Amino acid sequence: MWEIYAYQNSASLFGIFNAAAAVHAAGDYKSAIAAVAFCGFVAALIAYAFAPEKLQGWKWLGSVMLVFSLLIVPKVTVGIVDKTGSSPVQVVDNVPFGAALLGSLTSTIGHTLTGLFETTFQTIPGTGALPAELAYERNGLMFGSRLIRETSNVVFQDPNFRMDLVNFIHNCTTYDLLDGTLAPNDFSTSDDVWPLMARPNPARFTPLTATSSSTIETCPTAYQNLNGRLPAQLSKIQGQLAFQLNPTLPGAAAAAAIAGQIQQAYLKNSIATASATAADLIRQNAMLNAIADTGKLVGQKINDPASVVLAMGRAQGVAQQNAAWINAGKVAEQALPVFRNVIEAVTYALFPLLVLLLLLTSGRETLLAFKGYANVLIWIQLWPPLYAVLNYMASIYAAYDIAAAADLGTGLKGLTLQTASSIYSRTISGEAIVGYLSISIPFLAWAALKRMESFGSAIVGGITGLQSMVGSSTGSAALGNNSLGNVSMDQLQLAPNRTSSFMSSWQSDTTGDTFSASAATGRSAVSLLRNQGFASRVVSVRVSEQDVLQASQQVDAARNEAVVASAERSAALTEVFSRGLGTLRSVRNSSGSNSSSFEQVGETLNKLDQVVQTVSESTGLSQAQVARLAFGAAAHLGLDFKYVGGSVQASGEKSYLSSLSAQEQKALASLTGDQLTAFKQFGDRVSKDNSYVRALSEDSREAREMSSRLGTAQTRSERAEAALSNRISVANQVSTAFMKGEVIAIDMAQDPHNMAMFLRYAQTYGGDSAAAHTLMSAELARQSQSPNRVLSGGSGLPASFEDVRALHQRQSMGPEFSPDLSGVRRDHERSTSAFDGKPTRSEAQQAQAPSRVRQEIGQVSAQIREQTAERDRGFDSKAEIVKTDDGTLASKKSLFWRSSKQVYKDGSSTVEELKGSVKDLLKRK
């Protein structure tokens, strides 16, 4: 019997060889052989006829004889030996000798090499030894890592038990960790957390689910209940793992093998001790997953959306990060072995076709075709030894990597809460790396078959795949966004949308306003939170033509006031000028000497007097009129005119000239600019220099009067000029705003503070013009004059409560609101003590005897209380009311006796009424 070794494909090979035997025994196949042989004979005959020296016919005939005698006619028995399972050898009879020969030779070579490698790996001394349970021939690539991955994902299958355990962890263990009953450090570093949870606080409770009901038990009672139900749950999980990890073994064999496999996998990777059983390891993994589930479900139990979203985000991020690793690991676990087995089965199935093709060839071509078929079989059988080497190297590396992940930092290693996540991540990442390296195995085998000519390119191809795997895994780890309930339907975009990376936008948490800013220019803008809709209520402010007319009228009034004030000042200056001339003449007529300063004043007065006399003689006006006219013209038409703008000056000249008569205008025209300047200088000096006025006066009393009058006139003139300047400025601004059409408008309905008004406009009165008209009428009737911020005296009110508070604090610190009452009293006593001649009494002497009013009120209050208590006792005695033991009130009077009296009285009344009725009847008869 020729043996062919199978790796997880014994059943398929058994079917393929049975099919090959049936095909070769079928009459149709024999007819096909005859037809192909005839075609080959014809071709050989023609070739021999044209070139007999090449012996093509004889070569063909020899090739056909060899094919028939070695490959087709002999029939042998083939045994399919399963190296990864425990199924018996499957025997197939009547298999063509060629197929059996090639399959058995190549399979034996591959099996021998694989077995030698596996035996050597298991007998290596020290940490380099690989347990038999983790060998490639028995369980495939990276079986230890697959065991750790699968056991890391185990959960309790019974939903009632799982929910009871989650509730126990949440209601009991969590609070034991918080109050220190269970040390958090010991709990997080323990390789068996279930015994640490055995002593919970008996004052806490947790629900337990029975078959048909639910009860509330103390935490110790709940632990005992869960501990009694736990072995059955572990047995169920262990049985499930046995069938998942050993699919080719019978049920009993798988259940018997799983315990040793789990122990050896955890021992080899240094994450368990020799005393740990498979049930202990499964329980630890299931408990760690239950603790993780508790943290994820507690947010939903307490209705905390933030906790739920956080738990979901973490779970999604971990799933995305691990998905690429797990998928790559699946390549090593399933894809390539299946790919190898499929190629092997297809190659054996092609043997009948190979025979037909060989009948068409001859000589060297026949040998080349047979060699190609044999190369494919050899290539396939080279995979197992290479896989065995890869499995050994990867398992040893994974043992160091997982052991490092299981280190607690104290030299101890174990599967704990602290290390579970890193152990799982490194396990699946190691599987992923091996999965991508296993892709290079077929290329390495083919390179070995081709005398290692393409060995380098095969390794480079494997490394390239590893790099692409790392990139995709990194991209997956960078994700982790939550996306729930997204629905996108009937989306249509007619134009591209573009957003600038320089623009940023944020919304205020307090106001809800949205701010936008440009990082390139620094400009920013704001979009206010507002009501939006068809309802609107706009309050606008604009400058009308009436406002311009009022501003112009105010300017005219101010100008007239300025003219009157200037005339008053001119009159005052004229009076000073006249009195100065009188004083000068009286001084000159008297004897004595004069000071140089008075002589200078006299020269100025003489010069002005000559101008006045000349104009008076030429116009016929009096000297006083000419002087008043000169001082007024100097004020209105002088070079130092203070009004704004040439147009306003022209207007001022016209207004002033229109108030003069023709004779006065003639006199004004005869005055030169230098003469007006002299009058102006004299007026300014007299108005500002009191010593100058005293020099022009005969005595100090007269000087004070003139100075007072000049000061009053000057002040009024300056005020009038300032008011005129202000009115002109306002008039210009109003006129400019009117010409530009400036409008300030605010839509009050858009203000979020007026949401009720907006809804009333939009919903209650919307859609009907009559209703809207009623609304407007009601709003106009409801409006009244809004308060302003200015009092009648002109003082402004505070703009906010903060201003009121600040004003109150400032004023409360002033002396008028917090006077020194003791000091004021002492001052008053000091001032009044001088009238009676008695010294001020001290405070101790001023003390008087306390009043007896308080004592009298207390006595009357006690009497009232005594009278009230006496009346209460009399009422209780009369009503026979007593207090019972429970504090309620009860009566000693008999209710039965009172009811008997009432019955007696009712009977007497009834008899009296009957007597009256009988008497009435007798009287009627």
Residue 597: which pLDDT band, with cuts at 50, 70 and 90?
Answer: low
**Residue partners of 912: CB distance under 8 A and separation at least 6:** none
User: Quick one: pLDDT at residue 309?
Assistant: 54
Residue 446: which pLDDT band, with cuts at 50, 70 and 90?
Answer: confident
In angstroms, the CA 278 to CA 237 distance is: 11
User: Quick one: pLDDT at residue 638?
Assistant: 43
pLDDT in tens, 793-824: 445 556 567 777 887 877 777 766 677 777 78
Helix 97-123 × helix 351-358 angle, to 10°:
130
Q: Kindly state whether residue 591 falls inside one of the protein's structural domains.
A: yes
Where do we find the tokens 């309802």?
535
User: Quick one: pLDDT at residue 466?
Assistant: 46
Per the CB < 8 A criterion, the answer to whether 551 and 763 are in contact is no
**Residue 758 pLDDT > 80:** no
Higher per-residue pLDDT: 415 or 325: 415
* Burial grade of 531 (CB within 10 A; 0-12, 13-18, 19 or more): buried
Q: Kindly state whether residue 122 falls inside one of the protein's structural domains.
A: no
Which of 37-51, 765-779, 909-923 bottoms out in mean pLDDT, i.e. has the lowest?
A: 765-779
Q: Residue 517 forms beta bridges with which residues?
A: 504, 524
Where do we find the tokens 């000061």?
711
User: Quick one: pLDDT at residue 219?
Assistant: 92
Q: Kindly state whether residue 500 falls inside one of the protein's structural domains.
A: no
**Residue 841 pLDDT > 60:** no
The b/e string for 472-490 (b: 16+ C-beta within 10 A; e otherwise) is ebeebbeeeeeeeeeeeee
Q: Kindly state whether residue 698 falls inside one of the protein's structural domains.
A: yes
The helix/strand/coil state of 766 is: coil
**Residue 335 pLDDT > 70:** no
Read off φ and ψ for residue 666, nearest 5 degrees: -65, -40
pLDDT in tens, 414-424: 888 888 878 87
**Residue 271 pLDDT > 60:** yes
User: Quick one: pLDDT at residue 592?
Assistant: 47
User: Quick one: pLDDT at residue 895?
Assistant: 67
Neighbours of 619 (CB within 10 A): 19
Pairing of strands 881-883, 90-96: unpaired
> Domain range holding 631?
545-740
pLDDT in tens, 878-892: 777 777 776 676 777
The mean pLDDT value for 152-175 works out to: 88
Per the CB < 8 A criterion, the answer to whether 561 and 723 are in contact is yes
Which of 377-381, 412-416, 451-455, 867-871 bottoms out in mean pLDDT, i.e. has the lowest?
A: 451-455
User: Quick one: pLDDT at residue 224?
Assistant: 92
Which of 201-215, 278-292, 428-442 bottoms out in mean pLDDT, i.e. has the lowest?
A: 428-442
**Residue 54 pLDDT > 70:** no
**Residue 837 pLDDT > 60:** no
> What are 397's two structure tokens?
């590396």
User: Quick one: pLDDT at residue 647?
Assistant: 35
**Residue 307 pLDDT > 70:** no
The alpha carbon of residue 209 and the mean position of all alpha carbons in its chain are separated, in whole angstroms, by: 39
**Residue 477 pLDDT > 80:** no
Where do we find the tokens 């020729």?
2
> What are 826's two structure tokens?
């002492």
How many helices, marked H, and strands, marked E, lie in the chain?
Answer: 36, 12
Where do we find the tokens 């600019």?
673
Higher per-residue pLDDT: 331 or 377: 377
User: Quick one: pLDDT at residue 614?
Assistant: 75
Read off φ and ψ for residue 849, nearest 5 degrees: -65, 145
User: Quick one: pLDDT at residue 223?
Assistant: 92
Higher per-residue pLDDT: 204 or 354: 204
pTM, two decimal places:
0.47
Neighbours of 897 (CB within 10 A): 9
**Residue 456 pLDDT > 60:** no
The mean pLDDT value for 179-189 works out to: 87
- Provide the percentage of residues in the chain whose pLDDT is more than 70: 73
User: Quick one: pLDDT at residue 172?
Assistant: 92
Q: Kindly state whether residue 834 falls inside one of the protein's structural domains.
A: no
**Residue 52 pLDDT > 70:** no
Residue 2: which pLDDT band, with cuts at 50, 70 and 90?
Answer: confident
Read off φ and ψ for residue 89, nearest 5 degrees: -65, 130
pLDDT in tens, 70-113: 777 788 888 888 876 666 788 888 888 888 888 888 888 888 88
Where do we find the tokens 């060297």?
364
**Residue 173 pLDDT > 80:** yes
Higher per-residue pLDDT: 28 or 200: 200
Q: Kindly state whether residue 604 falls inside one of the protein's structural domains.
A: yes
The mean pLDDT value for 374-401 works out to: 83
- Provide the percentage of residues in the chain whose pLDDT is more than 90: 2
The mean pLDDT value for 383-390 works out to: 84
**Residue 474 pLDDT > 70:** no
User: Quick one: pLDDT at residue 509?
Assistant: 80
Q: Kindly state whether residue 219 falls inside one of the protein's structural domains.
A: no
Q: How many folded domains does the chain comprise?
A: 1
* Burial grade of 70 (CB within 10 A; 0-12, 13-18, 19 or more): middle
Pairing of strands 881-883, 538-542: unpaired
Listed ranges 96-105, 311-320, 481-490; the one with the highest mean pLDDT: 96-105
Q: Residue 503 forms beta bridges with which residues?
A: 518
* CA quadruple 79, 80, 82, 86: dihedral sign: negative
Which of 299-303, 442-446, 808-812 bottoms out in mean pLDDT, i.e. has the lowest?
A: 299-303
Residue 510: which pLDDT band, with cuts at 50, 70 and 90?
Answer: confident
**Residue partners of 709: CB distance under 8 A and separation at least 6:** 572, 575
Which of 215-224, 402-411, 568-577 bottoms out in mean pLDDT, i.e. has the lowest?
A: 568-577
The mean pLDDT value for 744-758 works out to: 78
Q: Kindly state whether residue 145 falls inside one of the protein's structural domains.
A: no
**Residue 453 pLDDT > 80:** no
In angstroms, the CA 680 to CA 138 distance is: 127
**Residue 642 pLDDT > 50:** no
**Residue 325 pLDDT > 80:** no
Residue 645: which pLDDT band, with cuts at 50, 70 and 90?
Answer: very low
